[in-house]
Chain A
Amino acid sequence: GESVGLHLPTLSVQEGDNSIINCAYSNSASDYFIWYKQESGKGPQFIIDIRSNMDKRQGQRVTVLLNKTVKHLSLQIAATQPGDSAVYFCAEKVGGSARQLTFGSGTQLTVLP
């Protein structure tokens, strides 16, 4: 089956800079996308989601952009802080699939002092 993938497995940014984490998907039937943050030894924590009828959604310090033309999703974190260091996963839901999410392999974000 089709799955979600990530462009880069690791990303290092300076504290205070903006972070951009990318995600590619291949299933054109996906109608919902979600980003999770997973800190070491913990379960994934919801960050932000977006429906396929939207191009952009903003939260607190985070923005998700969806480009359906090239099947690309990105998570932008403004003013990255040490507490943002974690693995970030994107996931997609295919329409009509009983709400099953397909997860990417994750990107490790490291915030440098």
Chain B
Amino acid sequence: NAGVTQTPKFRVLKTGQSMTLLCAQDMNHEYMYWYRQDPGMGLRLIHYSVGEGTTAKGEVPDGYNVSRLKKQNFLLGLESAAPSQTSVYFCASSYIGSLAKNIQYFGAGTRLSVL
């Protein structure tokens, strides 16, 4: 029972390089989210998806793009990495059901450093 799996776990980039973070969930959840977490701060929503083929901007979307081509996968892309994007990135997913099912399940995170 894997839950939410993020790859890679660690990555170091040079300024201007690009990369894609992959999130996969095996719980058949409709909703998926990408957050970033910076020291001393809570999680901030980058982008989210309410279903296959749909994405929407969150609180801090600039510099990121996302795609949800398959229900189980949610990709986060950095086209031209900047030092300000050094952070820990978390993916989460949640069930589409009733209000009581708003629980988001998180992956273990990807630590990204941009030099």
Contacts and interface: CB of A to CB of B under 8 A. Distances in A.
B106 A45 contact: yes
A52 B59 CA distance: 24
Interface in B20-69: 31, 33, 40-45, 48, 50, 56, 58-59
Contacts of B100: 49, 51
Give the interface residue-count category, chain A.
Answer: 20 to 34
Interface in A43-57: 43-46, 49, 51
B40 A105 contact: yes
A4 B40 CA distance: 14
B103 A103 contact: no
A25 interface: no
Contacts of A89: 42-43
